[in-house]
Amino acid sequence: MRLDLLLIQRYPGLSRRKARDVIEKGQVSVGSERVREAGREVPETAAVSFDANRKALPKARCTLEVLYQDEHVLVVDKPAGLLTVPSAPGADDDTALARVQDYARRLKPRGGYAERVHRLDRDTSGALAFALSREARAGLIETFRAHRIERRYLAIVLGQPADERGIVDAPVRQEWVSGRRGIAGPGEPSQPARTRWRLRERLPGAALLEVELETGRQHQVRAHLAHVGLPILGDPVYGQPVHGRPLVGRPMLHAAHLAFAHPITGARIAAASPPPQDFERALLALRQGALQQRPKPPLPRRKR
């Protein structure tokens, strides 16, 4: 049950707006933990207490949508186009990390802490986790390194898969060539990579896939799907050349689900991110046959 609704149930004199306000001020605890997210899901039997005399904490709002938060872990919904971390050392780019660190400093003016534990590509949207304490970061890094996480993506791909589901087990090249990771050739230095996919919807000339990572290599989903003849729609690196006006402005890849064990308590954390508007618009256009209306590439000129 949402915390704000459970609080109203326990304290009937509170309005919905007031309940959200006192939660954000830090005047509400669940057990011994002070919780500041009105939408946090808690058991209906949880020990919830409200102390109007407790000193209110300064209000702090994250500029990214918060999918999950406690004192150690934060999961946000990263929009496409935003870097996870600076593109180069010393760069002052607007990044998800910079926004979360600013939020952490507002939450705790003395000693606010936030660090990344994994990343999403600039043009990939969806669930992205950060550590809000040093203890949590150490645990989360080990969790991600050992692949003890659930990561599911939604991907719109060009072409039609022959089967309803499949596995791509192909090592990715360690070296980057012209901005591409790629599948390793015989004898090339590589890292093992394994991706599972499941068909969610067949579309005219395309498909919607649910993709699950068993490993977490950079560009893994994009490289693996292209390798099996299902390039992601809008991918300028691993995809197909576009003739005419592009249907989409970025690769249609979205991190829809992220789950892992809490690094301090061991409890399961699960965060879900709904597809953004551009992803939904692309699906609608494809259902209406947008690919069939695309201009055909020009034929090569004959040599005289």
Q: pLDDT of 229-272, one tens digit each?
A: 999 999 999 987 766 678 899 999 999 999 999 999 999 999 99
pLDDT digits (tens, 9 = 90+) for 66-111: 999 888 999 999 999 999 998 766 655 789 999 999 999 888 777 7
Cα 120 to Cα 219: distance, rounded to the nearest angstrom: 9
Active site residues: 121
Q: In CATH, what number does 1-56 get? A: 3.10.290.10
Query: Residue ranges of the domains in the chain?
Result: 1-56, 60-292
Closest CA to 235 of 123, 119, 78: 123
3-state secondary structure of 206: strand
Cα 266 to Cα 7: distance, rounded to the nearest angstrom: 25
Angle (CA) 123 126 130, round 5°? 105
Cα 43 to Cα 47: distance, rounded to the nearest angstrom: 9
Its pTM stands at 0.77
Q: What is the mean pLDDT of residues 110-120?
A: 90
Q: In CATH, what number does 60-292 get? A: 3.30.2350.10
